[in-house]
Amino acid sequence: MTLVDEPEPVHWNPVKACLLILSLTTHYICELLFIVGSGVYARDIAEVVGGAEISSWCISAVTILTAAFAPPIAQAADFWGRKWLLVVPTFLGFIGSIVVATAQSMQVAIIGFAIGGASFGAQPLVHAVASEILPRKHRSYAQSTVNSSIGVGAIIALTVGSALTNNNPAGFRTYWYLCAGLYVFSSVAMALLYNPAPRELQLTMTFGEKIRALDWIGFLLFNAGLVTFCVGLSYSQNPFPWTNAHVLAPFLTGVVILATLVLYEVKFKKDGLFHHGLFQHRNFPIAVTAVAIEGLVFVAASNYYPFEMATVLAGRISSFRVAVCFAIAFVALFAIANVVGAYIHRTKTVRGPAMASFVGFIIFGAVSANIKSSTPEAHFWGFVIFYGIGLGICLITLLTMAQLATPPELISITSGLMASMRSFGGAVGVAIQLAIFNSGLNSNLVPQVTAAVEPLGLNATSIGPLIAALGTENRTLIQAVPGVNQEIIEAAETARTDAFVIGFRDVWISVAAFAAFGIFICYFVKNPKAEFNSSIDAPLEGTARVRELEKPRVSIRDSDTSPADMGAALE
């Protein structure tokens, strides 16, 4: 028995469908330029406009806004159609990019990232539309094509962006002007190429019914809980201890709000944010949990791998070379994505690929945790491939698994919840990893540097100023610290790098631990072989039911049929 009991005859235009999917990939390319830039180039922005202490909120704003906007847009798309809920949010990316490009302070830049983050709310519709316009047996191909664009976008972001900012931090402005132009192109492409038939609920529900059907309470609780939870985590060890009210108050408030959300969705709202129809098959809750872990791994790699490489190889490598190295992960993603799509299509299995993706993440976390200040550059180029392999397998598999585990009419909500939980994992991951990194760094920085320079004769009163000067990477300031010489400076730099490596190591250990849990839960996935059939969930030409509903609408304009007769026809 499948989730599609009586599939309609397959009538579809492959050329039209493929052109539309290609236009959808432009949205994902824009997203990758935006989110990779928010993590990798946040330090360049801070160097120009200041505000380094709050720069982690650049990527947090994007992930939080994605989690906030994805569910309501996904649900609304069932009532008002997909097209303009794809196009309008995408255009917000243009506005956000312009704000970032022209920002004169970090606070304004973060506002730009928040506006651009709202464009990520259309992300679930990219996955939903790509899948629902093709026969279900081709779903893995649809997802592999969409996810291949992740590799394209990331490679452009890392190579072009690093070329623009290499020895020129102000080049971030040109980078975000480029993002703005691509967002305009994507908006226009989707507006021109995506002209679907109306959906059944568009025709049968009134505006008031649609508004009332949205899960406003669920959206409010989810967003409030997510923001306060992440604020609390972000303050941990940055600079407050766990026992401080700045950490505990928002953190516990977030926990209470999220617990209230769970109670509300389970007991009182069966067709809301967590629609009960989504949980008929065990694969969906597994996919939702696994994609949150993938989001956590993604932000860890984006934020800390280039950072660690630049720190360990400081003075021996350019920022451009660091970015090109990290781009190798996305070359691996691009190379493996279509192979995985073909494998899933041929074998009709998702369990093996899902587990394999987290094996890749575990290996990446394990080898990265063993990086030391003496690790040669060549190792970095090899380690990152494991991350790319895991990334290239994971999203394709999990989205295919989730969509085939839920009823076809809930594909938009399915994709929305997957996108939201991925961003939830990323937002929580940013906060957790920042706390872990700062804890490891702060507890080792002063002791490591002190142990390195005191035997060389540096006065204890000069250790603090030396550490502060090392943080600026300004040779003039470093050499101006009283009592230092070249031997002391070199010893202090090595000790400082060792302290940073400890912070990085702790982050990678946490990544490997979460990935191990991902393997565990994916072991229980059931392969949905019966769902790989020829049914099309949402043909571009419309379903037979929609065509039937549209007929009376035409006759109202073109005939003398009475409204009463038309009401009877609709019934």
pLDDT for 515-528, tens place per residue?
999 999 999 999 98
Intra-chain end-to-end CA distance of the chain, in Å: 30
* pLDDT at res. 505: 96
Helices (H) and strands (E) in the chain, counts: 23, 0
Backbone angles phi, psi at 212, to 5 degrees: -70, -25
Cβ neighbours of residue 202 closer than 8 Å, sequence gap 6 or more: 79, 80, 81
* pLDDT at res. 540: 55
Cβ neighbours of residue 480 closer than 8 Å, sequence gap 6 or more: 469
* pLDDT at res. 303: 86
* pLDDT at res. 437: 92
pLDDT averaged over 10-residue windows placed end to end, the chain, 571 residues: 48 74 88 88 89 83 82 86 90 95 94 92 85 78 83 90 88 94 92 82 84 88 84 72 83 91 89 84 93 93 91 87 91 90 89 96 96 93 95 90 86 84 85 87 90 88 87 83 89 92 95 96 90 63 56 47 42 42
* pLDDT at res. 9: 45
Q: Single out the residue of 316, 389, 325, 320 nearest to residue 358, CA to CA.
A: 389
Backbone angles phi, psi at 236, to 5 degrees: -65, 120
* pLDDT at res. 382: 95
Q: Single out the residue of 140, 158, 509 nearest to residue 329, CA to CA.
A: 158
* 6 φψ region: left (φ > 0), alpha (ψ -120 to 50), beta (else): beta
pTM over 0.85: no
Amino acid at 210: K
* pLDDT at res. 538: 57
* pLDDT at res. 556: 40
List C-alpha distances in Å: 230 to 59, 170, 224, 254, 303: 12, 29, 10, 8, 16
Amino acid at 230: C
Q: Are 307 and 325 in contact (CB under 8 A)?
A: no
Cβ neighbours of residue 248 closer than 8 Å, sequence gap 6 or more: 232, 242
pLDDT for 139-169, tens place per residue?
778 888 888 888 899 899 989 998 898 888 9
Burial of 8 (0-12, 13-18, 19+ CB in 10 A): middle
Domains and CATH numbers, the chain: 14-215+271-444+496-531 (1.20.1250.20), 448-495 (no CATH), 541-571 (no CATH)
